[in-house]
Structure 1
């Protein structure tokens, strides 16, 4: 968080009043089925290239990159005196102001080998713990999706800090990439314009479906039909 907010943060850190220690995500109905992945980032260290703390991904390992903005505090060490340890108590990232800062993730989601005329449909769910006070929830994005294509499915308060009204909250967004031809996606969480964002935990879930284009079988049959026609004429 911004340094001028440190007295407030000290009060809020000491004034935890409601909420469970850990906030659980409601998993998508297809979680654990074939063609799915899951990865959980808890940011337990200050690495600017965090890996997942837990993962189930047969297509590779997801990677993260922290772009710290000019006024961001960076990683909030849970053992530091003037720090926000996050809802989980294991550290959080203050990534700064507006588009200056972000958390970005590259996630393998499919084998990546497509036959001619084939594409992927990628179902995506993003879950995050976010700090809401002077800080504001980040804006999610997925390369290849328009801003309105990610839907805020649910949100709620995880824990409330003292009398300041500051809360750790959860957010769940979902979206679908159609006609996708890559085996990986890029997910980003970016502070809204004019605000900072603090993020404690990010979970990303995906499922791919292989989609043959409707014209592909027809194109395959054209040479065969022409060959049969030539044989009949002979």
Structure 2
């Protein structure tokens, strides 16, 4: 049986999509039609950060022993993910969510874990009175001793200074390199996905820059660069030949 693990954020998990419309599941079905016995584990997680990828890799190796790892890398700005939730959530995986005939969806794709992207940071810094921003502010206050103003000031500092610091990208690059080395030392195959064609692409072998391969204007459904089913089918068609 070909055992494939997919690691990533909501781009992999399937933001607001049924699990059958995610690219890991589409690959699973394509392999079934080709009479290739396979198991697919979709460990994509809404708001996942590159910070927790090493722990996720270790968990996947110990529990599932995949033959192939497809790692969809996020961008360095995800380093602020633990700002809004308990650290322990992102350092261990506690359970498998659902299993569908050799397809495992590790996390419920209706869950939300907010990562601090530039767009969201700007909305928080401006103290936008939207339901989303006010919910995030209240959650951070509930889980910390920070006041609303302290949260806003910290977000502004990250937006204007910290996210642009060269060390942020260097730590991100080191994590990408570590993930690549970890899988190769296991003697397993690894495929790297970089979603956007930007300065955060790391030079590693066996990598795909998704934005170069797929027309985002045609298949992206929101400002977070999430694909619809057709976009995920396009991506599945690109990845599948590389699995063998």
TM-score (norm 2): 0.31
More strand by share: 1
Larger Rg: 1
Which structure's residues are more often helix, by fraction?
A: 2
Q: Which has the higher contact order (CA 8 A, sep 6+)?
A: 1
